Chain A
Amino acid sequence: MSEGFYYDVAALLIPEAVSLLKEYEHPRKDELLRAGDRLRHVILSAYERLRSASLPAEVSRFREIMRYGLLSLKRVYAEGDWRSHVFFNEVLLEAEATRYLLEWLFSVLTIPPGSVLLDVNSVAPLFSAKIGTRIGAKVVLSLEERLAEIPVVREVVDEYFRRYGVDGRVLRVGMRFSADMPKETADGIFFGSLDSWVIGWDTILSVASASLKPRGVLACLLPANFREGLRTLLDFWGIPPYPEPDVAATQLKNMKFRDVRINRHGPFYAVVAQKR
Chain B
Amino acid sequence: MSIAIKVLKVRCPACDSEHIIQVTPEVLREADQNPLGLTGLAFPHGDHVLVVYVDRLGGERGTRVFRLFQQPAARGFAEVRVPPSELQGLRNIGGFWVELGRLGVRVGTEPSASAVSLKAKKGATTLELDFNRDIGYQTARLWLEMLLDAFDTSYSSELRDYVNAVKALDLLLEEKPFEYARQVLWLLSNASTITIRLRMPEARLLREVRPSLFFERYDGGFVLKVLESSGSTVGELLSGALPQVLFSSAEAILALHRRGVIDLVVT
User: Which chain A residues have a beta carbon within 8 Å of chain B's beta carbons?
Assistant: 61, 64-65, 68, 71, 75, 81, 83-84, 86-87, 90-91, 93-94, 124, 126, 152, 154-160, 162-164
* Interface presence of B258 (CB below 8 A): yes
Within the complex, which residue of A94, A157, A162 is in contact with B210, where a contact is CB–CB below 8 Å? A94
CB pair B213 A160 closer than 8 Å: yes
Closest B residue to A163 using CB positions: B217
> How many Å from the CB of A182 to the closest CB on chain B?
23
| Further contacts, 5 of them, CB under 8 A, given A61-B209, A65-B209, A158-B178 | A65-B205, A83-B260, A84-B260, A87-B261, A90-B213
Contact (Cβ within 8 A) B213 A83: no
Specify which chain B residues have a CB less than 8 angstroms from the CB of A90 in the assembled complex: 211-213, 259
Residues of chain B within 8 A of A87, CB atoms compared: 202, 205-206, 259-261
B236 CB to nearest A CB, Å = 24
- Of the candidates B217, B251, B255, which one forms a contact with A164 in the assembled complex, judged by CB atoms under 8 Å apart? B217
Report chain A residues within 8 Å CB of B201.
68, 71
Q: A159 to chain B: which residues have CB within 8 Å? A: 179-180, 213, 251, 255, 258
Residues of A within 8 A of B211 (CB): 90-91, 93-94
With A and B bound together, what is the CA distance between A90 and B205 in angstroms?
Answer: 11
Partner among A68, A71, A84, A163 whose Cβ is within 8 Å of the Cβ of B213: A163
Give the residues in chain A near B183, CB-CB below 8 Å.
155
Q: How large is the interface on B (under 10, 10 to 19, 20 to 34, 35 or more residues)?
A: 20 to 34
Asked whether, in the complex, the Cβ of B179 is within 8 Å of the Cβ of A154, the reply is yes
Determine whether the beta carbon of B258 is less than 8 Å from that of A156: yes
B260 engages A158 (CB within 8 Å): no
- Bound CA span A93–B255, Å: 17
Question: A158 contacts which of B180, B202, B212, B261 (Cβ < 8 Å)?
Answer: B180
Structural contact, B260 and A81, CB atoms closer than 8 A? yes
User: B218 on the interface (CB 8 Å rule)?
Assistant: yes
A93 vs B216: C-alpha distance when bound (angstroms): 14
Closest CB in chain A relative to B247 CB, distance in Å = 12
CB proximity to A under 8 Å, residues B156-213: 178-180, 183, 201-202, 205-206, 208-213
Given known pairs A83-B260, A155-B179, the reply for A91 and B205 (CB within 8 Å) is yes
How does the 8 Å CB contact mask read for B225-267 relative to A, with 1 for contact and 0 for none? 0000000000000000000000000010001011111000000
The answer on a CB contact under 8 Å between B258 and A84 is: no
A81 / chain B contacts, CB cutoff of 8 Å:
260
Q: Are A163 and B258 in contact (CB under 8 A)?
A: no
Q: Out of B205, B217, B218, name the residue touching A68 (CB < 8 Å).
A: B205
Enumerate chain A residues within 8 angstroms of B179, measured Cβ to Cβ: 154-155, 157-159
**Within the assembled complex, what's the spacing in Å between the Cα atoms of A87 and B258?**
9
Complex: A90 Cα to B259 Cα, angstroms: 9
Q: Cα distance A64–B200 when bound, in Å?
A: 13
Residues of B within 8 A of A93 (CB): 211-212
Minimum CB distance partner of A87 in chain B:
B259
Bound-state CA distance A227–B188 (Å) is: 50
Residues on B with C-beta less than 8 A from A156 are 258
Residues of A within 8 A of B180 (CB): 155, 158-159
B197 CB to closest chain A CB, in angstroms?
A: 14
User: CA–CA, A51 to B16, complex, Å?
Assistant: 63
From residue B175, how far is it (CB to closest CB) to chain A in Å? Answer: 8
* Chain A residues closer than 8 Å to B260, beta-carbon distance: 75, 81, 83-84, 87
- A126 lies within 8 A of B212 (CB): yes
